[in-house]
């Protein structure tokens, strides 16, 4: 295993997940370090120029990394890149047909409520047991068009209210943990 922290790797590749911008990498290290040496699969929605995909490749050396974006950049890494729109159910169906079940999904795509919800509701069932689904930049929920706080509060009800007055039926009863970290929502699956 490499001795470099995820933040060291993030700084090297210049992704805004590093400590000089959003500081997500050190928190991801905390939640994902037990998977670092495993043959995991990770899907990130939102590639941009591929800096974060390179970060994941260098962190999960035995892992398989997938990137999904409406626009595919020129990329010289190992990750598999898939073109599509995260709000389009057909594109998402094509995506999961390729990836199968994955250990980690990171939504760093459009940061728009409808897109984030469509992607989450479609992709949650493709997260493996014990895996994670992360929605990044939830500060955009405060006037920036990101995922509605009422939707998130509904998920809190879903996780914590076994009598189910949340209106979700049996949906999402397999969320084990809902972690609100600065600008990040991390959901762990039972
Ligand atoms: C913040 S950037 C991703 C940054 C990258 N994850 C990183 O950390 O280096 C957001 C990306 O989301 C993509 N995007 C925007 N709307 C999208 C949509 N509806 N479906 C898929 N990708 C989208 C954009 O093309 C852009 O590349």
Count: domains in the chain: 1
19 part of a folded domain: no
Task: Tell me, using a 6 A CB cutoff, whether residue 86 lines ligand 1.
Answer: yes
- Out of 13, 22, 111, 113, which one is annotated catalytic? 111
CATH code of the domain in which 113 resides: 3.40.50.150
Contact residues for 74 (Cβ-Cβ < 8 A; gap 6+):
none
Residues 18-47 have pLDDT tens digits of: 999 999 999 999 999 999 999 999 999 999
CB of 99 within 8 A of CB of 81? Answer: no
Domain span holding position 92: 37-189
* pLDDT over threshold 90, residue 162: no
172 part of a folded domain: yes
List the Cα angle 122/7/139 in 5-degree steps.
50
142 part of a folded domain: yes
176 part of a folded domain: yes
Q: What is the pTM of this model?
A: 0.95
17 part of a folded domain: no
Pocket test for ligand 1, best of 9, 16, 47, 138 (most atoms within 8 A of CB): 47
Give distance in angstroms: CA of 159 to centre of ligand 1: 29
Residues 145-158 have pLDDT tens digits of: 999 998 998 888 87
135 part of a folded domain: yes
Cα 34–chain centre separation = 17
CB atoms within 10 A of CB 156: 13
């Amino acid at each position: 295993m490499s001795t470099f922290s995820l933040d060291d790797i993030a700084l090297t590749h210049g992704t805004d997940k590093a400590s000089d911008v959003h500081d997500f990498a050190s928190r991801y290290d905390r939640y994902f370090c037990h998977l670092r040496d495993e043959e995991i699969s990770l899907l990130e929605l939102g590639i941009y120029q591929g800096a974060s995909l390179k970060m994941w490749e260098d962190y999960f050396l035995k892992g398989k990394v997938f990137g999904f974006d409406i626009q595919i950049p020129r990329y010289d890494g190992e990750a598999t890149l898939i073109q599509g729109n995260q709000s389009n159910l057909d594109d998402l169906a094509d995506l999961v047909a390729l990836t199968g079940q994955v250990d980690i999904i990171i939504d760093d795509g459009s940061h728009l409520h409808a897109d984030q919800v469509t992607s989450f509701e479609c992709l949650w069932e493709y997260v493996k047991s014990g895996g994670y689904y992360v929605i990044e930049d939830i500060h955009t929920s405060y006037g920036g068009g990101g995922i509605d706080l009422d939707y998130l509060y509904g998920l809190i009800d879903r996780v914590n209210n076994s009598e189910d007055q949340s209106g979700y039926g049996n949906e999402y009863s397999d969320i084990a943990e809902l972690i609100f970290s600065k600008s990040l929502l991390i959901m762990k699956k039972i």
